[in-house]
Amino acid sequence: MAAPDAAPVDDGACYACGPDNVAGLRLRFEPVGSDGARATVTLGSHLQGYRGIAHGGIVMLLLDEVMAHAAGNAGDKVMTAAVTVRFRAPVFLGTPLTLEGRLVSRRGKILKLEGSLRDAAGALLASAEGSFASLGPVEPGRFGNSAGLRTV
């Protein structure tokens, strides 16, 4: 385990997007413009809260991750400072979902971002606003692989 004052390192093991985490979601993001990100995913039954519905914590994780990747596309490696999530409708398991995030503003080292989660028909299921602290430039080659529909 790293010392508490060690700088955060992206080692590919992130639960949400890490390609090396066999137990993780392994989300793949694609850039949208110069300050956005998008991914598609189909959630499996192991991510259930109530029967047939994704756990709210998983929904929050998805929104946090897409906002962080939008910041990465804008050039910043970030750490979440605060997120507010609005749940608008149940997120059903086994159905294609689209995540989108975008940078809204930047003030010094604080970035404001928005995220959304929609079903295949485009209905908004959940949205988020977040404040993220910039840790400096994103490492070259760390943002995004081609996104494809994934079941996790």
In the chain the domains, ranked by start, together with CATH numbers, are: 32-137 (3.10.129.10)
pLDDT tens track for 38-48: 999 999 999 99
Q: What is the pLDDT of residue 7?
A: 72
Reported confidence tier of residue 146, pLDDT bands at 50, 70, 90? very low
138-152 as b/e, with b when 16 or more CB fall inside 10 Å?
beeeebbeebeeeee
pLDDT confidence bin for 1, thresholds 50/70/90: low
Residue 130 phi/psi, 5-degree rounding, is -145, 155
Residue 148: band (very low, low, confident or very high) from pLDDT cuts 50, 70, 90: very low
How does pLDDT run across 70-125, given as a tens digit for each residue?
A: 999 999 999 999 999 999 999 999 999 999 999 999 999 999 999 999 999 999 99
Task: Pick the more confident residue, 108 or 147.
Answer: 108
Proportion of the chain above pLDDT 90, given as a percent: 76
